[in-house]
Amino acid sequence: MTTDGMDIRDISISNAEWRVIIDDFESGVNQGPILNIDPDDDREYDAIFIGGGAGGRFGSAYMKAAGGRQLTIDRWPFLGGSCPHLACVPHHLFSEAARELDYARTFSGRFWYPEFDESKASILEMVQLFLSGRNSAHSFMNYQSKEQLGMEYILNASATVIDANTVEAAGRIFKAKNIVIGTGSSTRVPEVPGIGLKGVYDYATLIEELDYDPRSCVIIGGSKVAIEYGSFFQAAGCQTTILARSPLMAGTGLHHVDDDLREYVVWGMRERGIVIHDGTETLEVLGDDRVTGVRVRLSDGTVTDIPCEMVFIGTGERANSDEYVKTLGVAVDDRDSIIVDAHMRTNVPGVYAIGDIIGPPMEMFKARKCGMTAARNIMGEDYTFDFSEYPDFLHSTYEVTWVGLSEREAREKYDNVIVLQMPPPGVPYGDIPLPCADGTMMLAFTHPERTGFQKAVFDATSRKLVGAHHVGYGAKDGFQYLDHMIHTGDGVTIDQMAEMNELFLNPSHFIQLARLRAGAKDLKSL
């Protein structure tokens, strides 16, 4: 028996119950829209959020908390969007697996580690593990949004925009003072022959469709996704080749990447067996029905065929904006991203756009804060969001984190720049087991070259920290606060850092390195 939708307004649904409900929607046992609309509230909606991902959910929650009335509509039977379903959450599971596998390989047959068993390292098994558990995140999003945040929503229903104040969903017409569009982005699929063959995946189809364990992979593109998934594939025993146009982490997609950090990350990937070509042009995906290889023009002009059992697309994303260009006439840029101002307003009065659909950076903080920004403006505040500066990260088998200026950028901007660096400038990676801290202690005593890399960049004249860069484990949280310190008020000086209280062994050693140098009137690198 199938349902024909559910009206859940007057019932409380626990997390455990949501899991069953969402499973049933995904298997087709449940069908139709999930309606959570307050029939007793006769106020016009302040906003309808189209898309219940990070931007729509946080915007809605903020608006509701501020006393407004919102309605959030999503095509999936859950809120939270692609993050828990296809993107950030599986990426973090895979990156953790990559790190664990890296340890297991590095210490194979030593200490308590058994000989590494390639047959147990499986991409497919990790995908299946994720699929078996992802509904726990989905269910919590639905539960929290309704029971704790009091949001109104319609799920498992597509929203059709009629005009800037009218949306049709679940066979009903809804009116609102504003519309907030947050329907995200999708992989920009390169136009090369054979790209539609079986065995070609992106981050989304890998989750939904992978049904075998590839032992070799060619990644087309050099995006963050290419680095992250490539590092996982390689760690899982799938020989991986990355075909990038620009050198990894040096393209326009990422800003403020320090040259030495980049060199360490790419060195580490190659050290673990990943083959990386830049300056390439992918010519064709080879195979009759299923992928057998990729034909590529290398940077020296030679054309070669690289055999593989899987092709993975890592070329980046484009905004899902077509529908809104047609129906509302929103203006887009040359990459189809909806153009907004710092209030998240589009060119159409009363229409806002948030999250990945407005272009890069396609990161959670931006999506969520875009949602909040739209909500605050709709609720009458004059609130702007500038995301030109932000802390950034990616995973190889390491956690790679950076904020502020690279050393090169700092030297272009300031006359007197110093760095505090581990290993110190000019010292080979393997010469000292530093930096080491949580997550790299065993490497410090066995493989000193693998303990990571870090650099703090200071303008020695003002004594201010202007950039920080880290490869290792456990620094991501700290970089959120470093970002705030660097970019808020007067910033933070080496002297203030010298007064901070480190929790030794701290993953980034910046505080104690700052203290070693802060006594000097004329600062020197370390």
* Contact residues for ligand COM, defined by CB under 6 A: 54, 57, 80, 83-84, 89, 137, 141, 368
Among residues 186, 185, 167, the alpha carbon closest in space to that of 72 is found at 167
Least CB distance to ligand COM at residue 365 (A): 10
The residues that bridge with 395 in the sheet, in sequence order, are 399
Least CB distance to ligand COM at residue 503 (A): 28
Catalytic residue (one of 85, 138, 256, 395): 138
504 carries an active-site annotation: yes
Catalytic residue (one of 25, 71, 78, 83): 83
Greatest CA separation found in the chain? 78
> Which CB atom, from 73 or from 89, has the smaller least distance to ligand COM?
89
Contacts of 516 (CB under 8 A, 6+ apart): 420, 526
Least CB distance to ligand COM at residue 17 (A): 20
Half-sphere exposure of 274 (CA within 13 A, CB side): 31
Least CB distance to ligand COM at residue 289 (A): 36
CA distance 507 to 454: 9
Least CB distance to ligand COM at residue 39 (A): 26
Residue nearest to ligand COM (CB): 54
Q: Is the separation of the CB atoms in 467 and 409 below 8 Å?
A: yes
CA distance 34 to 292: 43
Helix residue ranges per DSSP H, 28-79: 54-65
> Which CB atom, from 19 or from 57, has the smaller least distance to ligand COM?
57
> Which CB atom, from 73 or from 285, has the smaller least distance to ligand COM?
73
Q: Of how many residues is the chain composed?
A: 526
Q: Given phi > 0 = left and psi -120 to 50 = alpha, else beta, which region is 258?
A: beta
Least CB distance to ligand COM at residue 297 (A): 39
Half-sphere exposure of 499 (CA within 13 A, CB side): 4
Q: Is the separation of the CB atoms in 269 and 231 below 8 Å?
A: yes
Among residues 463, 474, 522, the alpha carbon closest in space to that of 498 is found at 463
Catalytic residue (one of 35, 79, 217, 420): 79
Q: What is the DSSP string of 201-229?
A: E-HHHHHHH--S--SEEEEES-SHHHHHH
> Which CB atom, from 68 or from 84, has the smaller least distance to ligand COM?
84
CA distance 412 to 459: 11
CA distance 376 to 58: 11
Least CB distance to ligand COM at residue 80 (A): 4
> Which CB atom, from 82 or from 234, has the smaller least distance to ligand COM?
82
**Dihedral, CA atoms, 95, 97, 101, 102, nearest 10 degrees?**
20
CA distance 233 to 129: 15
79 carries an active-site annotation: yes
* Enzyme catalytic residues: 79, 83, 88, 138, 504
